[in-house]
Structure 1
Amino acid sequence: MPNLGWPELLLIAVVVLVLFGTKKMPDAARSLGRSLRIFKSETKGLVNDDKDDVPAQPQAAPAQEIPAPKADGTTISGVPVSPDQVNRTS
């Protein structure tokens, strides 16, 4: 693999600038910066999650049974329906 010196790196930079244009370069740098910030915050969040001791979850109370609303011909579970639909579902 050849060694890259300053002249070669400068030539690569000029080619990249010509290919992508000066108008797109600031947008690309801005999106790269945003991506790096998001990545940094997410990795910091993962590290903090490992350090935090999560307390034990309390036992959940058994689910209470909720009675179904009666079909009076106007709504079933809050959804307006016609009377013939009420007769089909009952």
Structure 2
Amino acid sequence: MNLSPMHIAVVVIVIILIFGAPKLPMLARSLGQSLKIFKSEVKDLRDDKDEKTTEPGELGRETGQSTPTTPASDAPEPAAHRNQDPQSREK
């Protein structure tokens, strides 16, 4: 859709009639602050996404160090210990 100068002028006039001339600077200022906050949040999300794409063991693989593929806390418990009472494991 092509916007001609006439369309833009009509929109500006309607905005002035709805909000009034004294309120326009305040509206523009609040719109600018909102856009600034929005941009900073988008940047933070992109930074977080970049950090999450790097796996903990990935850096070690690049330098030639070997890293375990499964952490010890994620290892499955033996079948004998699953059905026992938690207090009996402590003994």
Q: Counterparts of 1:21-36 in structure 2 under 5 Å?
A: 21-36=20-35
Q: d(CA) in 2 for partners of 1:42 and 1:16?
A: 29
Q: Counterparts of 1:57-68 in structure 2 under 5 Å?
A: none
- The residue type equivalent to 1:34 in the other structure is Q
Normalising to structure 1: TM-score of the pair?
Answer: 0.50
Number of residue pairs matched? 56
Residues 25-60 of structure 1: CA deviation (Å, up to 9, x unaligned): 1111111111111111011001111222476xxx9x
**Secondary structure of residue in 2 paired with 1:9:** helix
Normalising to structure 2: TM-score of the pair?
Answer: 0.50
The answer to which structure has the higher helix fraction is 2
1:5 is displaced (CA, Å) by 2.2
**Secondary structure of residue in 1 paired with 2:20:** helix
- Label 1:28 to 1:13 Cα distance change in 2 as closer, same or farther (>3 A): same
Unaligned runs of 5+ in 1: 60-90
1:4 is displaced (CA, Å) by 4.4
Q: d(CA) in 2 for partners of 1:31 and 1:20?
A: 14
1:7 is displaced (CA, Å) by 1.7
Q: d(CA) in 2 for partners of 1:22 and 1:11?
A: 15
Provide the identity percentage: 44
Unaligned runs of 5+ in 2: 57-72, 74-91
Root mean square deviation of aligned Cα: 2.5
